[in-house]
Amino acid sequence: WSTPGVPAIAGLHRFRDYGSYIDDLQAGATVLIADLARDARTAAAADAFAAMEARALVNLPVMERGRFVALFFALKPTPHAWSADEVAFLHSVADRAHAAIARVEAEDRQRLLNQELSHRMKNVLAMVQAIATQTMRTATDMDTVKEVLAGRLVALGKSHDLLLGGEIGSTALDVLITNALELHQDRPDRFVIAGPPVAVGARAALSLSLILHELATNAAKYGALSTDAGQVTIDWQIRSEMHEPEMVLSWREVGGPVVVAPTRTGFGTRLIGRGLAGSFGGVVDLAYLPTGVVCAITAPLSGLQAHDLGSLG
């Protein structure tokens, strides 16, 4: 707002083009200058203030958690000694303006959150429906249905717990892997998990949790986790030399029985082979080596960290 006839100053301005008091504002101190042309902090910038028809100013910093986030200011065209009543009034106006902006921002965040929760719920229900349908289709008896379906839903639930406990819609990859394999951690060295810090978005977290659950379930039935000496290594790296940075994650089993490739492709194998690729552009290479199953997952980092949920495929 400006007085009628006074030129507007809307636009981008650099604090240091108008004096040397930015450090005071960052510290939360109110800056009062009665004469901009004579004050040592602003005299060198008198011409810049004159272009605004300003000779006196008050700057009130708005602080959030100790950080300088906004500025409420008033300018006068003539030198002016700011009174305590004027400063108190300006503080009141600044506080009300800040509260009003914060309320609008909070309403926007709540609206976005509600939309995200609605979108996520619909996708999760669709994923549960797909899991249930495929489990029923490939199972041979009801006991198997109950066991397999329960395990898959538990894995899905754990991934959601991680998402809700971390940032909005994301979790750390190492935490996700550790939680997905928790049921099979019967000795300290059963799993070797290593890799750089990577944040996983909601879309990838659900698919990865289900894929790890399927790999671990198969390993417990037929592979490295079915023997006392078996071990699984899960490691990953980021390849930045590509046009787009990508992550390569590998699952390698050793110490289990001699592996024989399955003759029938069940839902678990299809989930491992297509679930990740279908959800965020990754590629899965699943190999049944005699020494142990090896699963390599390559995915663009941007897709891995996406927050919105994809479909199961």
17-44 per-position pLDDT tens digit: 899 999 999 999 999 999 999 999 999 9
Share of the chain above pLDDT 70, in %: 79
Please report the pLDDT score of residue 313 as a whole number: 41
Please report the pLDDT score of residue 185 as a whole number: 82
Residue 254 has pLDDT above 60, yes or no: yes
Quote the CA–CA distance of 111 and 108 in Å, as a whole number.
Answer: 5
DSSP state of 37: T
Count of other CB atoms within 10 angstroms of residue 252: 19
Phi (first) and psi of residue 195, to 5 degrees: 165, 165
Quote the CA–CA distance of 234 and 254 in Å, as a whole number.
Answer: 12
Q: Are 193 and 221 in contact (CB under 8 A)?
A: no
Answering whether pTM is above 0.75, one says: no
- Of 142 and 157, more confident: 142
* Structural domains of the chain, with CATH: 15-82 (3.30.450.40), 115-304 (3.30.565.10)
Quote the CA–CA distance of 106 and 81 in Å, as a whole number.
Answer: 37
Side-chain-side CA neighbours of 94 within 13 Å: the count stands at 19
Quote the CA–CA distance of 287 and 224 in Å, as a whole number.
Answer: 14
Q: Which residues contact 138 (CB under 8 A, 6 or more apart)?
A: 266, 267
Q: Which two tokens stand for residue 265?
A: 């492709």
Q: Band of the pLDDT at 8, cuts 50, 70, 90?
A: confident
Q: What is the chain's percent helix, strand, coil content, to nearest 5?
A: 50, 20, 30
Q: What residues form DSSP beta bridges with 278?
A: none
**The residue count for the chain:** 313
